[in-house]
Amino acid sequence: MLITAVFCISFTHKTQKILVFSKTLGYHHQSISKGIEAIQKLGLENGFIADTTTDAALFTEKNLKQYHAIVFLSTTGDVLNEAQQKVFKKYIQDGGGFVGIHAATDTEFGWPWYNSLIGAYFKSHPKQQEAQIVVRDSAFIATRHLPAIWKHFDEWYNFKSLQLDHAHILLTVDETSYTGGENGNFHPVSWYQSFEGGRVFYTALGHSDECFTDTLFLKHILGGIQYAMNCKQ
């Protein structure tokens, strides 16, 4: 199914590019390969190119300059060394975009700046199950296609070290609709924020292969990518 929202063409008429980074040093989600395939297809359909890598050595100032956004697709563990962290931080501060999908919050636990960037760290999760998602903002590019209550099957992350005071919450999950929630009556699962000059979008959804064939979810991450790339909405 063709999923089209907003074409992203730069002022130089060159197609915009994103970098999908999926290095794992902890748990490796089998859905990463499906996620890469889906994001590349979204790019073909919506006017951007998605390069992919698991090689953190590509985090150099010269290389990252070509990308309008960087996607951490279910990364886990300490995926960047100190020099690469400095480059990534500068990329954001120079106006770059960042998209975190699912286990991107299970990443860089020893780097407080990253905690502030992404907004939370993964704590735990119950078994995969269907739950009800509440759409808190129906006007944003990543959520305006969603029903007010979205029933979705996924792996529901509980979070720690939440730093969302300046974030705009897009989706919360209703903990009364499933078992194992630990964040209470207001349990965010997707948000965006302006951060130190850059644009940040995160969604906790996206654990399974099936997510990356779900039209509602694909339009959700497409909108997040387009926001991070600073596309006209």
Tell me how far the alpha carbon of residue 196 is from its chain's centroid: 18
Provide the token pair at 231.
């596309």
* Strand, helix or coil for residue 100: strand
For tokens 């990463």, name the residue.
Answer: 32
DSSP notation for 117-133: HH--EEEE----EEEEE
Q: What is the pTM of this model?
A: 0.95
Position 232 scores a pLDDT of 57
Look up residue 151 and give its amino acid.
K
Q: Give the C-alpha separation, 19 to 66, whole Å.
A: 9
Position 14 scores a pLDDT of 72
Every domain of the chain and the residues it spans: 16-228
Q: What is the pLDDT along the chain (233 residues), one digit of tens a residue?
A: 445 444 454 434 478 999 999 999 999 999 999 999 999 999 999 999 999 999 999 999 999 999 999 999 999 999 999 999 999 999 999 999 999 999 999 999 999 999 999 999 999 999 999 999 999 999 999 999 999 999 999 999 999 999 999 999 999 999 999 999 999 999 999 999 999 999 999 999 999 999 999 999 999 999 999 999 997 55
Q: Which CATH superfamily is domain 16-228 in?
A: Class I glutamine amidotransferase (GATase) domain (3.40.50.880)
Q: Cβ distance 186 to 194 under 8 Å?
A: no
Q: Which residues of 44-65 are buried (b: 16+ CB within 10 A; e: fewer)?
A: ebbbbbbebeeebeebeeeebe
